[in-house]
Structure 1
Amino acid sequence: MQHAYSDDFPEPVATPAKVEGQTHLTADKLDGEMNKVLKARGNVVVTRDDARLTSDWLDYYQDKNELKGGDRFTLTRPHERVDGTTITYDMDTHTGDGQKPVFSGGTPPMVLRGNGERVEFRGPDRYALYNSRATTCSVNDDSWYLVSSRLDLDYTTEVGVAHNAWIQFQGVPLLYTPWIDFPLDGNRKSGLLVPSFTSGTRGLGIALPYYWNIAPNYDATITPSYSQTHGTGLGLELRYLQPDYSGTIYTDQRLNDPTTNTHRYLWSVKHTQTLAPGLTMGVDATTVSDDNYFTDFADRITIADNTNLLRQAWVNYAYSWNGGSASTGLVAQRYQTLQNTSNSVTPPYALLPQLSFSANQSLPANFSANLTSSITRFSHPTLQEGDRTILYPSVSWNFDQMWGFVKPKIGVNYTYYDLSAYSGTAEHSITRTLPIFSTDSGLYFDRDTTLGGTNYTQTLEPRLYYLYVPVRDQSKIPAFDSSLNDFSFARLYSENDFSGGDRINGANDLTGGLTTRMLNVDTGREIARLMVGQRYYLNKQYINSSGTIVTHDSNSNYLVSLAGEPIEHWNFDSLLEYDPISRQSQQYNAQLRYQPATGKTVSLRLRFQREGQTDVDGNLQDLHQIDFGFQWPLTRNWYALFHKQYSLQDKQALDTLAGVEYNEGCWTLRLVADRYVTNYVNVTNSIFFQIELKGLGDLGTSPLETLRLAIPGYTKTNESQP
């Protein structure tokens, strides 16, 4: 027979109503002296609020509200459970200790479980486990454990701290540390992060980052490091976020690099701020100590992106009114240009400063008035300098219907150059005034069709774009910021073939284009998209990059694009530029990708551009490359990783990457080797080794950014498909 007892009643009663703060006890047998000690034997269950304790036997000291129990006990609270042999527990303070604990706590996916010799209960949701092992792996999976002499778990602050700890991975002890802390809920917290290791051409290296969670909107990462080649270093990244401003400050310092015997460094600052409604400002600046900094310390992604290091500060004010808006901005900008020993680079012009203003106003009958303008002072250490003023007012009309659109536009581009304050061979002042007229128009047709029992919608979208700009010689105008845009569909339908404001192509052109699409009615999937376009030159004169008037053929090259997903998970994309006069392709690229699920992707890309690169001597030569990559499962857990970029023109591999990824659910291993060309003569080798432990962190150096760049569609196998 089971008995029940409550400490708020003078005598035992059966199944009383549950009251907050009340201790309720049931057992097969109850005896003892009231208000002193109550002995419960067999199937003992004690509950108080959200805590529940079960055991084989239990002594309940009523005056202290303390319990002693065994031979087996189970203590549960929401999202927490501790099993053991014997227990001493204070129901008021939730303190005590237990022997031979087996524990689990937290909410998915961050559930920590393990065992130890003794557990110390330190209050609600606070524990200390001695000589323990802990893991986030599921039950019956003992792939890895965090072994420690003492493990403090505080679920009120969601912080775990391990003392004299190491990682035991597949039975092998790794990474001993006298102290380590980690979040119990997966959120950020202060503490040592897992060290990262590097190897390859630059030699062995190790970095030990410390994360400082200063406040909810401030944090910092301090990273001392050592490189076999470049000695000791110290990195610091500070991030901050406020309602009106945010930013990042980063630096890496090498006080005495053995390879150069100099102090080497990187500084980077990014800051944006709202000063008042509509008024914003920002700073974006990066500087390094020498031209070879990124080659020696960065990965290939950073090397490729950092030939010209931006240093910019700006202020912008934007405002709007009924039917209109305007913005004005002031920017100062210059670059640090990193020179390549095999091929020198001309630095871009500095803007010191540039003041810009733009506005638009809606007018009746779908008309609108627009203005773009700027005043810029261009500075350069070796090239012609000067001031440039641009005023470009225009009026446009927008007639847009479901069946088509017509968008005419007329404007006048006025440009003034003041070169009198600067040395050079150009004239002291130059004025250029060019009217610009364009009309963009298109029609939409569609029809329903059925193929193989599947319903489709086929569209037909013809488009005509007319552009008129008088041809004016611009050879005496400096080219401060202009360059010829790549030939593309966007350029076919734009009013200027050049970027910047120094070159405006003369034109009396008509561009004709046609797009047709095949859409699956049920899924909306674009089965195929074909685009064709060509520009017809009614006036054969045009402006080249130097500003000189030259002639071209009657028609431009053809542009053809074919893309779509003809079969589910199979994506195809291609672009071809074909010269009908020489009957040669000027450029083409085609990519085929198959991606049926997470961890499964195969891609093949072919790219060609006539005179699209320079050789080691600075001469133009064709660019002809093939690119192949895949991520594919070998077994249930093993995945193969591969990427190769090969230059058919140079007959050499530009990049070769090979690796494996193993996903066991609660841990993932990645081993990747990468060999890539950094310039015309140098090759860099890198080896990435990473063990990612679910909920705790990762060991080694992460190859994820390299894999995402090298293998289109790469996904982490322990994450869902994006």
Structure 2
Amino acid sequence: MLEQPAATAVDTASASARADGSDLGNGDSGDSNTSDSGDTGSSDSDSDTGSGNSGANSVDAPPLFSTPSTASAREARLHRGLDWTFCGPRPARLGSAPMAAPLAPETPIDIETGAVAYQRDTDILTLSGGVDVRREQERVLADSLTYDRNTGNIATDGETLMERPGLRMIGDHALLNLETQQGRMHNVRYRFSNRANLRGTADLAEVLNPSQTRYRGLVYSTCPPGSNAWSLKASQLKLDQGKGIGVARDARLRIKGVPVLYTPYLRFPIDDRRKSGFLIPTVGSSEERGFELVVPYYWNIAPNLDATLSPHFLSERGLLMGTELRYLTRNDEGRIEAEIIPDDAKYAGNGARWALNLEETGTWFNRIDTGLEFSAVSDERYLEDFGNGLDITSTRRLLQRGTATYHGRGWTLLTALEGYQTVDPGITPEQRPYGRLPQVLFNLDPIRLDHGLVARLNAEYVYFDHHHIVYGQRLAMQPSLSLPLRRSYGHLIPTLSLNLGGYDLANAAVGQPTSPSHSIPTLEVDGKLVFERDTHWFGTQALQTLEPRLYYLYTPYEDQSATPVFDSSELTFNFANLFRANRFTGRDRIGDANQIATALSSRFLNARTGEEMLRLSVGRILYFADRRVQIDRPPAIDEQSPIAGELAAHLFDRWHGRASFEWDPAEDSEQWGRRTLQLRYREPESKRLLNLAYRYDRGTRIDNRFETADLSFQMPVSRQVNVVGRWLYSLETDETSDAFAGLEFGQCCWRVRLLGRHSKHRADSAASTSVMLQVELAGLGAFGNSVDRFLQREIYDYQVD
């Protein structure tokens, strides 16, 4: 160890040194493959050499880059030890590695070398025979270099590798400064691997600071090694890891090496952080809107506030201006979306057309949760003309609701304001839903009393607003007392509850009371047993259960015909609803009942993992009295309900199936009332996806009957090509409701999606045809329509790669 460089030269077969600006010390062994160093010799001359025990001379030490300096060899060294799990900016779901803080000037430097010579008069170290210079996470590898301890400059000869967090470069004749952390390198191959995966070549690379690099005469790409699917060739490129921005000048976009686009200036993101600037334009075409061009501008107003301004040029309609504002505070987050078209050339109405959507969720003082969901449009046809998805264009009403929930100790209090805008021209003013202005809901957490009793309470006050039919106030309350007896082999839960309700009405029909009320008790007894046995399921050790269940319900009849129907409707009959205490939603109708539900379920569970492989359940209700309380129907006099069942199965390795059915043997015709069959195949590694569904409901009225078949899929044709599509067919009307098909082709760094769609907004409307195209280049952006978002919305379980 040399506390001070008393010797003017040190020459060994393997030498270690530490340079911190004042002294040299032993470094770690590092990657040196030479023998251990021996004693060092010294002399008083300005330049001399000594030999260690090995007797080797510095010229005999093997060079660091022993393989030939070919392009392929450099490319292999560039990517060695670095994976390529994604292309371009690191996906947000994976997180982003933080930028490394600049190193302090006094940070020690470790040097591993084959030979070292020190010039005392100039304070310059000459290192050769393979040199490895390390400073924290920074590293320089070269066959030989000179290090000026006065200035911190390092000059290398021949092939050089420089590495720092997130960046690796290999080139020739580098000049680096360890104190300013600046430098340059010629004939460079570079690779980013921290917040983004990207690579390229350059005639000259300059390190401006730990987060900024500049390149001249370069090629840039986010495609993995060995692929030249697309690249950006430019005279100059500046990459700022601190801001996550790349700026190219005199740039040419090349596809398979062929130039397809030129721009004198290009600014683009190199990671997933938000930045102001124009986004990739969207181009499309449809029969309703004609040629469509969207040029969005993203405005990063603040770290917690941004906006996107999106002017839409529609050749058949005019100019539509859209905007989206997002914010995030310490207590809440929200989004404001707005659109306006001042003059729609295809709309017969007068004035501007617009749409507004507000969303907010928040938590205040750790006890108050707030929520806002507000949507409004200028006219009833706006969604049909400008909506994109079938679920949007077929919407009949828009929700306008705001809530505030206070969480007390053992209780909650919710206050809400709720209204709707009807966008179905077929709905009369009398058919429009009630507004709740306001709704106040109180819930008391279960209170455990002596002897295992559990008490519950919920209460609600609502003012139901309407301008055309009866409206007014309702106060309802439901206290209950239960005795849950639960064991490993089942449960028995008797429950007694009281349904209290009172009204103060206005605009009531002639002869109807303005203050009706009711007080109706309900008795429930829910019993279930669980039997188990060991078995096998297609060769897998399994546990089978047999679970009989009885549910007795008694609610006496009370005439509620004088009570308006504000928010009640009859529940859909299915297996789960066999065990509900009221066959109606809401609080305006309390169904009379004297009945017992009988059910039997069986499950097959994987004995090792506990995963449910099969579940089959069937049940029905035996009625001991007629059900006299109804909504717009005569009393029900059946002695038995239809049989309801459900099936869920994990079929084979990647197949999953679900089914539900309603079968009434008492019916002479149409014994099958409601049935659903769903079958799904998913193979994540190959991106195979197939969804099959059949849905039928004979309905209580002819106008709400439906029968549909639904097929959606994503199927790989090759490693680069996927076929996607959906076909929604109405068996009731014998016509296609919605259908689209298209191709996805590309690789990790690029993707093209081409889609054709034929759809109907309503059953009685004419079908329209549209074509959507999206070109996505990882690290540059996506051109065209947002096909990826459309597919996520329309194909169940579809995931963007």
* TM-score, with structure 2 as normaliser: 0.80
SS in 1 for 2:576: helix
SS in 2 for 1:429: coil
Corresponding residue to 1:339 among 402, 420, 424: 424
Aligned to 2:558: 472
User: Are the equivalent residues in 2 in contact too, given 1:27–1:45 (CA < 8 A)?
Assistant: no
Q: Write the mapping of 1:496-575 to structure 2, written as runs, cut at 5 A.
A: 496-546=582-632, 550-575=635-660
- Pair 1:46–1:439, CA change in 2 (3 A): closer
SS in 2 for 1:707: helix
- Pair 1:156–1:646, CA change in 2 (3 A): closer
SS in 1 for 2:219: strand
Amino acid at match of 1:310: L
Aligned to 2:24: none
User: Are the equivalent residues in 1 in contact too, given 2:16–2:113 (CA < 8 A)?
Assistant: no
Aligned to 1:294: 383
Does the alignment pair 1:314 with 2:403? yes
Does the alignment pair 1:704 with 2:799? no
- Pair 1:97–1:306, CA change in 2 (3 A): same
Amino acid at match of 2:798: Y
Q: Write the mapping of 1:138-153 to structure 2, written as runs, cut at 5 A.
A: 138-153=224-239
- Pair 1:562–1:420, CA change in 2 (3 A): closer
- Pair 1:55–1:562, CA change in 2 (3 A): closer
- Pair 1:605–1:47, CA change in 2 (3 A): closer
User: Are the equivalent residues in 2 in contact too, given 1:368–1:395 (CA < 8 A)?
Assistant: yes
User: Are the equivalent residues in 2 in contact too, given 1:194–1:209 (CA < 8 A)?
Assistant: yes
Corresponding residue to 2:740 among 649, 653, 657: 657
1:59 & 1:521 partners in 2: Cα distance?
Answer: 67
Aligned to 2:78: none
2:178 & 2:595 partners in 1: Cα distance?
Answer: 87
Aligned to 2:526: 440
User: Are the equivalent residues in 2 in contact too, given 1:676–1:685 (CA < 8 A)?
Assistant: yes
Any stretches of 5+ residues in structure 2 without a counterpart?
Answer: 20-106
Does the alignment pair 1:429 with 2:426? no
Aligned to 1:394: 480
Corresponding residue to 2:767 among 678, 683, 687: 683
Deviation at 1:297, TM superposition (A): 2.0
Deviation at 1:620, TM superposition (A): 2.2
Deviation at 1:368, TM superposition (A): 1.8
Aligned to 1:207: 294
SS in 1 for 2:392: helix
If each structure's strand is expressed as a fraction of its own residues, which one has the higher value? 1
Amino acid at match of 2:180: T
User: Are the equivalent residues in 2 in contact too, given 1:612–1:623 (CA < 8 A)?
Assistant: no
Does the alignment pair 1:255 with 2:255? no
User: Are the equivalent residues in 2 in contact too, given 1:93–1:124 (CA < 8 A)?
Assistant: no
- Pair 1:494–1:90, CA change in 2 (3 A): same
For the pair shown, the structure with the greater C-alpha radius of gyration is 2
- Pair 1:208–1:130, CA change in 2 (3 A): farther
SS in 2 for 1:262: coil
1:488 & 1:308 partners in 2: Cα distance?
Answer: 26
Aligned to 1:327: 412
Aligned to 2:667: 582
User: Are the equivalent residues in 1 in contact too, given 2:625–2:637 (CA < 8 A)?
Assistant: no
Deviation at 1:61, TM superposition (A): 6.1
SS in 2 for 1:529: strand
Does the alignment pair 1:271 with 2:355? no
Corresponding residue to 1:353 among 406, 427, 438: 438
Aligned to 1:616: none
1:75 & 1:395 partners in 2: Cα distance?
Answer: 74
Corresponding residue to 1:603 among 691, 697, 718: 691
2:305 & 2:416 partners in 1: Cα distance?
Answer: 28
Aligned to 1:284: 373
User: Are the equivalent residues in 2 in contact too, given 1:419–1:426 (CA < 8 A)?
Assistant: no
SS in 2 for 1:706: helix
Q: Deviations over 1:560-609 (max 9, x none)?
A: 22221232222221111112211411111112222234411223222211
Corresponding residue to 1:668 among 729, 734, 751: 751
2:8 & 2:511 partners in 1: Cα distance?
Answer: 110
Aligned to 1:628: 711
Does the alignment pair 1:227 with 2:314? yes
Does the alignment pair 1:591 with 2:674? no
SS in 2 for 1:223: strand
Amino acid at match of 2:317: H
User: Are the equivalent residues in 2 in contact too, given 1:186–1:695 (CA < 8 A)?
Assistant: no
- Pair 1:443–1:258, CA change in 2 (3 A): same
- Pair 1:506–1:403, CA change in 2 (3 A): same
2:430 & 2:504 partners in 1: Cα distance?
Answer: 27
Q: Deviations over 1:10-39 (max 9, x none)?
A: 723343432445596968897989418888
1:451 & 1:119 partners in 2: Cα distance?
Answer: 63
- Counting aligned pairs with the same residue, the percent is 31
Does the alignment pair 1:17 with 2:17? yes
User: Are the equivalent residues in 2 in contact too, given 1:654–1:677 (CA < 8 A)?
Assistant: yes
1:44 & 1:6 partners in 2: Cα distance?
Answer: 21
Deviation at 1:451, TM superposition (A): 5.8
Amino acid at match of 2:556: P
1:492 & 1:38 partners in 2: Cα distance?
Answer: 87
User: Are the equivalent residues in 2 in contact too, given 1:6–1:23 (CA < 8 A)?
Assistant: no
Q: Which moved more, 1:21-30 or 1:221-230?
A: 21-30
Corresponding residue to 2:187 among 100, 110, 115: 100
2:732 & 2:512 partners in 1: Cα distance?
Answer: 40
User: Are the equivalent residues in 2 in contact too, given 1:181–1:192 (CA < 8 A)?
Assistant: no
Does the alignment pair 1:84 with 2:171? yes
- Pair 1:334–1:164, CA change in 2 (3 A): farther
The alignment yields a C-alpha RMSD, in angstroms, of 3.3
Amino acid at match of 1:12: A
Does the alignment pair 1:75 with 2:162? yes
SS in 2 for 1:704: helix
2:278 & 2:393 partners in 1: Cα distance?
Answer: 31
- Pair 1:346–1:88, CA change in 2 (3 A): same
Q: Which moved more, 1:85-94 or 1:574-583?
A: 85-94
Deviation at 1:191, TM superposition (A): 3.9
SS in 1 for 2:564: coil
Amino acid at match of 1:356: L
Does the alignment pair 1:416 with 2:502? yes
SS in 2 for 1:476: coil
Any stretches of 5+ residues in structure 1 without a counterpart?
Answer: 614-618
Q: Count how many residue pairs are aligned between Structure 1 and Structure 2.
A: 703
Deviation at 1:539, TM superposition (A): 0.3
Q: Deviations over 1:525-567 (max 9, x none)?
A: 4332211111111002332213x66132111111122221232
- Pair 1:66–1:482, CA change in 2 (3 A): same
Aligned to 2:567: 481
1:363 & 1:29 partners in 2: Cα distance?
Answer: 84
User: Are the equivalent residues in 1 in contact too, given 2:697–2:706 (CA < 8 A)?
Assistant: yes
1:669 & 1:9 partners in 2: Cα distance?
Answer: 67
Q: Which moved more, 1:414-423 or 1:596-605?
A: 414-423
Amino acid at match of 2:643: Y
Does the alignment pair 1:243 with 2:243? no
SS in 1 for 2:354: strand
- Pair 1:610–1:421, CA change in 2 (3 A): closer
- Pair 1:644–1:8, CA change in 2 (3 A): farther
- Pair 1:240–1:425, CA change in 2 (3 A): farther
Aligned to 1:372: 458
Aligned to 1:646: 729
- Pair 1:467–1:6, CA change in 2 (3 A): same
- Pair 1:564–1:160, CA change in 2 (3 A): same
Q: Deviations over 1:425-458 (max 9, x none)?
A: 6322212221111111111111112466542211
